[in-house]
Structure 1
Amino acid sequence: GKRRVGSDIEKDQRILAQRTKLGPSDLGLLATVGATSVSVYKLPRVAVLSTGNELVAPGSVLKPGQIRDSNKTTLLTLLEKNGFPAHDAGIASDEYEDHVNKLKAAFGVADVVVSSGGVSMGEKDLLKKVLVKEFSATVHFGRVFMKPGKPTAFASLNYDSRRKLIFGLPGNPVSAAVTCQLYVLPALRKMSGHAAIYPTSIKAKLASDISLDPRPEYHRAVVTWSEDSELPVAYSTGNQISSRLLSFHGANALLVLPPATAERQTLPAGTSVTALVTDMI
């Protein structure tokens, strides 16, 4: 049947608020009112850099002491999946000058650099030394009380008269992926004008006992809905060692676990915990 003029959208009615993420229905709404041009936030340019003498490209034949660079693939894919296509800035060796040159190239093409490796004590903390000495960077933090991701660093600097940000993520594959989700993606969303920048938080019930770590832990899990349960159920992905990328396979959430205390070393099955949703449930 016929609709009265103004029955869908009234005169002077605001149809979209500032910082709305434009999806299909939003774009259709703009088309409805003839708004063919709107102001939007510019996406930050991102570059991903791997560091370490032991790293080689995934297609390479390994020599003794070498490992394939899995972090680059994981981080580039994770960023793109979340709407932030990134530039591959290559692999920097543990040589000082190579670090400087690779970082200069990365800052030349990006607003935000995401580096993995070179931040733990065993790696001589080379990244932070180079950033401070060669780029006069301000290191805002260089250690975080969390598992995984303790060596995570964040710094800002000016390069070519422009403000640049760099996240120094740990070299362990799981640590790099988790800290990208908890630090890098929220920062990029904030820079892009998103109103909601953190992962969606829900309550879930543990399917089995989980031992607690001395540090607060972000535990990889598969969260599923069960018809006979009031809360979704969280299943651990097993061994959570930070080099074991298999613990991410199938995971769709990070369980926020408190640090262990003398009185509480384990969370029993059935305990309700906060789960940060990282993929479809």
Structure 2
Amino acid sequence: MFFNVVSRKDFLLHCSTFPHTPKESVPLEEATGRPLASDVVSQEHLPLTSRSCMDGYALQAKDIFGAGESNPAYLELQAEIEIDAFPEFTLKPGHCARIPTGGCLPANANAVIMIEHTHDMGGTIEIRKSVAPYENVMHRGEDAEPGQTVLTAGTRLRVQDAGLLAALGIGEVTVHQRPKLAVLSTGNEVVPVQNVPRPGQVRDVNSFSIRALARQAGAEAHFLGIVPDKADALRQAMKHALAEHDAVFLSGGSSVGTRDLTVEVLEDLPDTEILVHGVAMSPGKPTILARQGHKAILGLPGQTASAHVVMLMLGLPLLRSLEADADAATPERFPVRAELTRNIASRQGREDFIRVRLEPRPDDLPLAHPVPGRSGLMRTLLQSHGLAAIPASSEGLYQGQHVNVLTY
């Protein structure tokens, strides 16, 4: 029987109890996609000065108040500002200065009129549109000010975040080391991919999918081989894996049965605690989470589709938690909204993840077609685009109901 069965939310909270990997400093160009290990504080204003958003003329907005096509305003051209120079003059009333996009505003200027609304009359500029104060202006310090925390620890660095740091002159950041993951496949029936399986045998698919998904999450994933259903062999493989890695993921051996050795071996390992054996979700109920010292052990189902879903919903959040991702313990977001094409029954008390195929529709939500099939078949993954969740509190979903889909 299963014991310590928990909800997916509680499983993710267990993940947050594992210590984070050590910190390290890396060049900014290597940091994208990794969570920050400390806050980043700006040391300067960004922009350094108020700058123009448009090619046009810097001016005082009050000087062209009420200007229009039938009632243009006229200002005298005082200067032309270069893109790479700070203007050392003060703008006079009734005057303007030609300015390029990104150019620094001179003192007393508080707006920019787009060049399309002007006409150069040879020293006098005709302006056929009024502007509000600070229109078409990027303010000094609008992106960042000295002493401002611009990114907090735990933020997974996006491309735009790296761009902000580059603009602030920050070429190196502190992150947590990538989790080192050992992957084991278990079972007498599992053979290497290059082998021709006999009836009753299967090629080792899970180790490839687990490693590929783990690397997408930023982990360093290493395959340590296929372990037969022998307690001594599994015990030795686990000891070796734990000695060199932050976490061990093994597929197979997590279901309750006469050939289940995983729990037995884990109970024999020193300083090991089984935190979870059973998650209220389908597929993936026979998932194991254990702690050996400060290291994490995840036992995934052996069925291919089940292992894939467990990696998406439980394994990847665990790896992100080890790397101190601030959102690691937050249940996965389901970013695509779609309309279900038929009724789907479920059982209250567990969260069901249905593989769905998305069919785009013009000017409407895409359709979500359920892809039924056994958890041992790869077809449900190959023919689907993502997962739709049925909450544990529900007995199912109805045709036409809107669902959230996690795409893969």
Sort the TM-score into its range (normalised by shorter chain): 0.7 to 0.9
Q: CA deviation at 1:259?
A: 6.0
1:51 to 177, 186, 189: 186
Distance 1:199 1:225 in 2: 23
Partner amino acid, structure 2, of 1:120? S
Q: Count the aligned residue pairs.
A: 269
SS of aligned partner of 2:369: strand
Report whether the alignment pairs 1:246 with 2:379: yes
2:403 to 248, 269, 273: 273
2:345 to 208, 211, 227: 211
SS of aligned partner of 1:122: coil
Structure that is richer in strand per residue:
2
- Residue correspondence of structure 1 range 23-42 to structure 2 within 5 A: 23-42=158-177
Q: CA deviation at 1:41?
A: 1.8
Report what 2:325 is aligned to: 194
Distance 1:123 1:6 in 2: 70
Deviations 1:38-61 (A, max 9, x none): 211222111111100111111112
Report whether the alignment pairs 1:184 with 2:319: no
Which has the higher mean CA deviation after the structures are superposed, 215-224 or 126-135?
215-224
Which has the higher mean CA deviation after the structures are superposed, 10-19 or 187-196?
10-19
SS of aligned partner of 2:262: helix
When residues 119 and 58 of structure 1 are mapped into structure 2, their CA distance, relative to the original with a 3 A threshold, is: same
Query: 2:213·2:316 contact (CA, 8 Å) conserved in 1?
Result: no
Structure 2 unmatched runs, 5+: 1-99, 106-138
Structure that is richer in helix per residue:
1
SS of aligned partner of 1:269: coil
Please report the TM-score for the alignment, with normalisation by the length of structure 2: 0.61
The CA RMSD measured in Å over matched residues stands at: 2.4
Q: CA deviation at 1:120?
A: 1.1
2:296 to 145, 162, 165: 165
Distance 1:18 1:168 in 2: 30
Report what 1:130 is aligned to: 265
Query: 1:212·1:260 contact (CA, 8 Å) conserved in 2?
Result: no
Query: 2:217·2:320 contact (CA, 8 Å) conserved in 1?
Result: no
Distance 1:278 1:109 in 2: 33
Structure 1 unmatched runs, 5+: none
Deviations 1:179-211 (A, max 9, x none): 111111111112212233343224432022223
Which of structure 1's runs of 4+ aligned residues deviate more than 6 A?
none
Query: 1:89·1:105 contact (CA, 8 Å) conserved in 2?
Result: no
SS of aligned partner of 2:312: helix
SS of aligned partner of 2:183: strand
Q: Which has the higher contact order (CA 8 A, sep 6+)?
A: 2
Q: CA deviation at 1:251?
A: 2.9
Which has the higher mean CA deviation after the structures are superposed, 67-76 or 33-42?
33-42
1:6 to 140, 147, 166: 140
Report what 2:368 is aligned to: 234
**Percent of counterpart pairs with the same letter?**
33
Distance 2:169 2:363 in 1: 48
When residues 216 and 17 of structure 1 are mapped into structure 2, their CA distance, relative to the original with a 3 A threshold, is: closer
Report whether the alignment pairs 1:67 with 2:67: no
Partner amino acid, structure 2, of 1:210? I
Distance 1:107 1:33 in 2: 41
Which has the higher mean CA deviation after the structures are superposed, 11-20 or 113-122?
11-20
SS of aligned partner of 1:167: strand
2:239 to 89, 96, 104: 104
